[in-house]
Amino acid sequence: MGDFFDIFFNFQFMADHFDVVFKGFLVTLKLSVVGGAFALTWGLILAVLRQLPGKVLAPVRWIVIAYIDCLRGLPLLLVIMLLANGLATMASQGVIPREIGIPQWLGENDPFWYGVMALTLTYGAYMAEVYRAGIEAVPRGQTEAARSLGMSHGQAMRFIIVPQAVRKVIPPLLNDFIALMKDTALVSTIGLVEAVQAGRDLYSEFYNPSGWTLGAFMFLIVTIPLARFVDRLIKKQNEKFQRGLP
Amino acid sequence: MSETVEMTKEVARGETILRVHNLKKSYGKLEVLRDIDLDIKKGEVICVLGPSGSGKSTMLRCLNLLELPTGGTIDLKGETVFDGGKPKNLDDLRRETGMVFQSFNLFPNMTAKGNVSIAQIRVRGRKKDAADERSIEQLTKVGLAEKVDEYPDRLSGGQQQRVAIARALAMDPEIMLFDEVTSALDPELVKGVLDVMRELADSGMTMICVTHEIGFAREVADRVIFMDGGYIVEQGPPAEVLGNPKEERTQKFLGLVLDH
């Protein structure tokens, strides 16, 4: 039993190397928040583009649908590899400027920005589907009322439909955000030192996995309250629904 | 300046404001409107009666192009807004026609005042303060001065419907379209809504009301239209159409409606 705790829950080891894991976890948090914000925005843009009316804009809808289908069907790890190495190769061969191919914006290194891009592309596609469900759940009468008042399609979406849709889908969006936060670990494969990579570095040096256990605690401190919060939101929405309100 | 522009477009009371010719609507093979001709004069109050499925709601929805007709023309104030192809001045037409729905369709995330203000601000380009002032004035007119800051879910069906009427009126429409606006209401709430409509009719508003309220039609309408099977079967003053219908289908329908 003592061995078990020495290996997995070596608190002395955790205390000694807390700063390393915590520094990694801050990177995880930063990547989650920045990537999450971009994915939320990009997903909404995709969802709105997908709802554009009329025959003329049909190609836009097809492109968006194809994009969403592809990105939902690809492993995030593949997207990360392809994007990071593809951009870096293009930059080194002078196809695109170095500042774009190997981004170092705002003092963050290039793996961080590749991670932001890959997470945005992939999770944007997931979230677009969530937004779409919300938009389609707004009763048709809302659009009709807005249009009958002289609003254009765009105005009806912006002022009437999307605000109602977003409210409906906050819980599933937060679920996607939790998933996104866990998937930031994949960015370690292109050299980002976040919580999981910090654990690996410690393991390589000291042959003790407790660094990962510490990282796990840090994840759970954020994700469990988030999951509880989502549950409470859903419960509140259901209560409203049971009272017969929209 | 803008006043002079509107003056030139003004249609005098009693002159034709909306002209519908040969209007058709089908969904695939199902013909809902076969051949509708209709001239509506400014200030006229028209009640449209007919059994369900007769095309009356579809006709109303075609008039502001919420449904795109499959054929025919619609002229508003002498300008063609629809002639069979793509609608030309879609948003113009909709700005000039206010519509009230059976299911109210208030925006649930806005207060009564917000509901009435939003299109004034976004479509008419009014400043928020001016729009809110207008909204309060309009809500007061429909008897809801106390409820301006309530959300729709705190209002009764009748109150919600009166907010919907105020919302349409605040846009200063030339014509008001009412689509069975009392059909979803509890019986005791119907009167409040009909009273508002009656007042509106007295004020000279041009109105087209699809309704099942025969009493309202008899009392308020200048003209009653009876529709069945996608046609206008009979039309005329309420005393004639309701009191002494010529067509058999009208007689049968009125017999069924009045006999209970």
**Residue A152 to residue B107, Cβ atoms within 8 A:** no
**DSSP secondary structure letter of residue B248:** H
**Residue B168 to residue A148, Cβ atoms within 8 A:** yes
What are the structure tokens assigned to A113, written together?
Answer: 């920005």
Contact predicate A43/A126, CB 8 Å? yes
Q: What is the CA radius of gyration of chain A?
A: 22
Q: Which residues of B touch A (CB under 8 A)?
A: 64, 66, 91, 94-95, 97-99, 101, 103, 105-109, 118-119, 122-124, 153, 164, 167-168, 171
Q: List beta partners, residue B176.
A: B98, B207
Note the helical H segments in A138-192.
140-148, 153-155, 162-183
**Residue B66 to residue A164, Cβ atoms within 8 A:** no
**Residue A144 to residue B101, Cβ atoms within 8 A:** yes
Q: Give me the domains of chain A, ranges plus CATH numbers.
A: 2-244 (1.10.3720.10)
Alpha-carbon distance of B195 to B174, in angstroms, equals 20
Nearest neighbour of B103 by CB, restricted to A141, A146, A155? A141
Q: Which residues of B touch A239 (CB under 8 A)?
A: none
User: B189-246 pLDDT, tens per residue?
Assistant: 899 899 999 999 999 999 999 998 898 999 999 999 999 988 899 999 999 898 888 8
Q: Residue A213: which of A1, A2, A4, A26 has the closest Cα? A: A4
Gap from A63 CA to chain B (nearest CA, Å) = 25
Which amino acid, B86?
Answer: K
Mutate to test the interface with A, among B105, B135, B138 (most CBs of A within 10 A): B105
State whether residue B66 is helix, strand or coil: coil
Q: Which residue of chain A comes nearest to B102, CA vs CA?
A: A141
pLDDT tens string, chain A, 246 residues long: the values are: 568 888 888 878 777 888 888 988 999 999 999 999 999 999 999 999 998 888 888 899 999 999 999 999 999 999 999 999 988 888 888 788 777 877 777 877 878 999 999 999 999 999 999 999 999 999 999 999 999 998 988 999 999 999 999 988 988 999 999 999 999 999 999 988 888 888 888 888 888 888 899 889 999 999 999 999 988 988 887 776 555 555
Alpha-carbon distance of A63 to B54, in angstroms, equals 41
Gap from B28 CA to chain A (nearest CA, Å) = 18
pTM for the model: 0.85
Q: Are strands B206-210 and B71-76 parallel, antiparallel or unpaired?
A: unpaired
pLDDT of residue A242: 56
What ipTM is given for this predicted complex?
A: 0.88
Alpha-carbon distance of B185 to B211, in angstroms, equals 13
Contact predicate B68/B87, CB 8 Å? yes
Q: Residue A158: which of A64, A52, A8 has the closest Cα? A: A52
